[in-house]
Structure 1
């Protein structure tokens, strides 16, 4: 089982690695849902940890339907990530009809054919999570996981869809399903037993006082690890 957590700085990244976290999602402006970190922050984090780092590529938090100019900015940010030695990004884009923007994914793969993409929770705004998932299967070499709450506000509400998505992933060998949003050491066990995913994404629930202003709570992370190990 794999645990991914959100980090915003070099210090948080180093702390998370020491606590045994498996992968990091690096963002800025977490109060806006996570935007692209600065060049300097990306550089510091990549030089400071050995575990995988998925770097958020997102210009604003208003919606997931980007203009040509906004996409060009994100493509340039991706080039910067690659230049700094990064291999993984977190990205998601939709068309106005709420279908997946496949053209953007194709363009990104053209920038770096080995890029590791987490398709983020733009996925949850698609009209049909099943159709959205099928549209990503042809790109499974690069779109390796989908961060989703099953189209609902949190994983508790979306667990029925999450379970179906995990089955789709197993049936088609497509991108892995990574539940995220509202997960904690309190509800993880029963959600995991119901959904059966192999990786989970955590935000403020693994922080002291459940606040991004604080560092990680070692006890909570250990509890989560034990719950996933002792299913």
Structure 2
């Protein structure tokens, strides 16, 4: 099975560049400097109209992964404002490694639409157990993790360990500091899904648009590894 490359985008131009470069899926966010927040309905509609790729829409309002009932209610309203979205990204914890019970109404608002559990488990004491708990949540089919809050370079030992579990590896999306430089090591470790952000932007900064050439370089690596 070929590997899967997801690219963070913020607008139509990003989406088109990522698609031209060979991305398999897009994660649509606002304010990527803060880790990605809920985009506006207008942006979601425009991006969906501009690409045939699957688009996972971020639902998030704060950088904290702690999720209160009040914040969960806000996220529910965000979901309700995005009826055109077909896939989502969200996350929340009560304690390190424990998916938040406050996610229940948000998951209900997704209405069966698929979603990714977003990086809230990076500091879990037992990443394998925490990721397994997340993918058992209704509708969750992937866990985005760097293995460590500092990013994949720091998380590599833990990522190698969890990727050795073939049942879980299929549900992991590796992202958070992935670059064209460390991507080969992640693929060798068994990563099947890879998530890239700044590293496929011009000048490697959020201030610049997605580079289709950089996406193509990453896509060629990811897809070649998936065929090997």
Please state if 1:153 is matched with 2:150: yes
* Contact 2:121–2:130 (8 Å) recurs in 1: yes
State the TM-score, normalizing by the size of structure 1: 0.87
Q: In the TM superposition, what is the alpha-carbon distance from 1:135 to its structure 2 partner?
A: 1.6
Please state if 1:200 is matched with 2:194: yes
Please state if 1:73 is matched with 2:74: yes
Equivalent residues, number: 223
Structure 1 runs of 4+ off > 3 angstroms?
A: none
Q: Which residue number in structure 2 is paired with residue 93 of structure 1?
A: 92
* Contact 2:69–2:102 (8 Å) recurs in 1: no
Q: Deviations over 1:49-70 (max 9, x none)?
A: 1111111111112x11122211
* Contact 1:79–1:111 (8 Å) recurs in 2: yes
Q: Distance in 2 between matches of 1:109 and 1:87?
A: 13
State the TM-score, normalizing by the size of structure 2: 0.89
Q: In the TM superposition, what is the alpha-carbon distance from 1:102 to its structure 2 partner?
A: 4.5
Q: Deviations over 1:91-123 (max 9, x none)?
A: 00111x324335344333322442111111111
Q: Which residue number in structure 1 is paired with residue 104 of structure 2?
A: 106
Q: In the TM superposition, what is the alpha-carbon distance from 1:175 to its structure 2 partner?
A: 6.3
Q: Which residue number in structure 2 is paired with residue 35 of structure 1?
A: 37
Q: Deviations over 1:149-174 (max 9, x none)?
A: 11241212212211222233x236x8
Query: Tell me, which stretches of 5 or more residues in structure 2 are unaligned?
Result: none
Q: Deviations over 1:122-159 (max 9, x none)?
A: 111333312312322423x6111111011241212212
Of 184, 188, 191, the match for 1:189: 184
Higher relative contact order (CA 8 A, sep 6+): 2
* Contact 1:89–1:116 (8 Å) recurs in 2: yes
Q: Distance in 2 between matches of 1:143 and 1:162?
A: 20
The Cα RMSD (Å) is 2.0
Q: Which residue number in structure 2 is paired with residue 224 of structure 1?
A: 218
Q: Distance in 1 between matches of 2:190 and 2:74?
A: 37
- Please say which of residues 119-128 and 99-108 is displaced more in the overlay: 99-108
Query: Tell me, which stretches of 5 or more residues in structure 1 are unaligned?
Result: none
Q: In the TM superposition, what is the alpha-carbon distance from 1:71 to its structure 2 partner?
A: 0.7
